[in-house]
Amino acid sequence: MTADRRLSLREEVILRALVEEYIRTAEPVASKQLSDQLSQIYGPGYGAATVRNEMAFLEEEGLIYQPHISAGRTPTDLGYRYFVERLMGESQLSLEEQRLIRHQFYQVQHQLDEWVRLTASVLAQALQSAAIVTSPRGTQQARLKHFELLALNDALALLVLVLDDGTVRQERLLLDTPTTQEELSRIATRFNARFQAATAQAVARRAEHESEYLDPNERIVVESLVRMLGQLDLLSPETFYHDGIVQLLRRDEFTHADPERIREVVEVLERSRFLPAIAPQVMESEGVQVIIGAENGSDALKDLSVIVSRYGVEGQVSGLLGVVAPRRMQYGRAIAVVRYLTQMLNDLLSDLYGPES
């Protein structure tokens, strides 16, 4: 079937009913079953013989197939694609669900890493499937907003680093000589004033000019700042969080699956190996993208679909968020959840990158 080919109204009614029934039951759909359902809704125009003939046509067009002789029909990737693009109704999250999600996010305001983790958790819980969220990254280098030094004991301190984009990192420092919290706070105050908005290279440059005046503990702090900022610069856009793999494996499709098949799916999701293949397409597109079955380019995920979207602030930072679920998913709801979380992150990042920040 060609991409611009349009089915007749009756063919579309039958295909939509078949896809929705298969999504609901996970069982191949028989013509008699569909005929009974549609006749009750639309009348005599959907008798058993008519539906059987139309289903045979849909099978010829590659939209449905018969898993084995005497079984009913199930949708193909092309059938799901036609359903998503032309037959699926619009879906919205309830106001109660929207309020619940917003409440969760506003409990972790201005904590970028927590926003990303929470997005993956909310996606997984809402859709009972695996969620993948990449950290937002931009073309700019990591810049220091401020840092804190906390005394853990006489010779051990915790360095808490905060970037301009809200990213937080921490590292334990083994000091050269024992010191107090008061002295650590003095060092932090002094260097925060000197290194604000500085990159790793700028911190190293400025520290070099006064290296002879730095005491051993100050030198350790500066070297740690340079190293941590440099490491953040090296993070790739594919730095990601995932959640919900267990929920995914509880779905009917995996109940009796081959253990090797399950291992392959888990490995691809945990290492996010499919993201490089879909990232260019998604980053160049607007709105929620639906990638069905074999379209995602990963043989391990050929029986799954990916609902994914780009989020961020135009020209500054961007990332991906999405869900990986069986092709037999509630596409309307999945799209609604991904769309809402995309807007949620867009709003939060817009506040973070607004004029005041």
- Across the range 260-267, mean pLDDT stands at 91
- The model's pLDDT over 41-82, given as tens digits with 9 standing for 90+, comes to 888 889 999 999 999 999 999 999 998 887 899 999 999 999
CA-wise closest residue to 167 among 140, 190, 185: 140
Domain ranges of the chain: 9-87, 95-135+237-352, 144-234
152: pLDDT confidence band, cut at 50, 70 and 90? very high
DSSP bridge pairs for 157: 151, 173
Q: What contacts 88, CB < 8 A, 6 or more positions away?
A: 331, 332
Tell me the fold of 144-234. Answer: Enolase-like; domain 1 (3.30.390)
pLDDT given at position 142: 79
How far apart are alpha carbons 335 and 258 in whole angstroms?
Answer: 29
Q: What is the CA radius of gyration of the chain?
A: 27
Average pLDDT of span 84-113:
89
Q: Which residue has the higher pLDDT, 313 or 131?
A: 131
Residues paired with residue 319 on neighbouring β-strands, in sequence order = 311
114-125 burial string, b = 16+ CB within 10 Å, else e? Answer: ebbbbbbbbbbe
Q: Is the pLDDT of residue 166 over 70?
A: yes
Tokens standing for 73? 């029909």
CATH class, 9-87 region: mainly alpha
pTM value is: 0.71
Q: Which residue in 202, 231, 220 sits closest to 158, CA to CA?
A: 220
> Nearest Cα to 272, choosing from 236, 225, 303, 219?
236
Structure tokens at 120: 């993956």
The CATH class for the domain spanning 95-135+237-352 reads: alpha beta
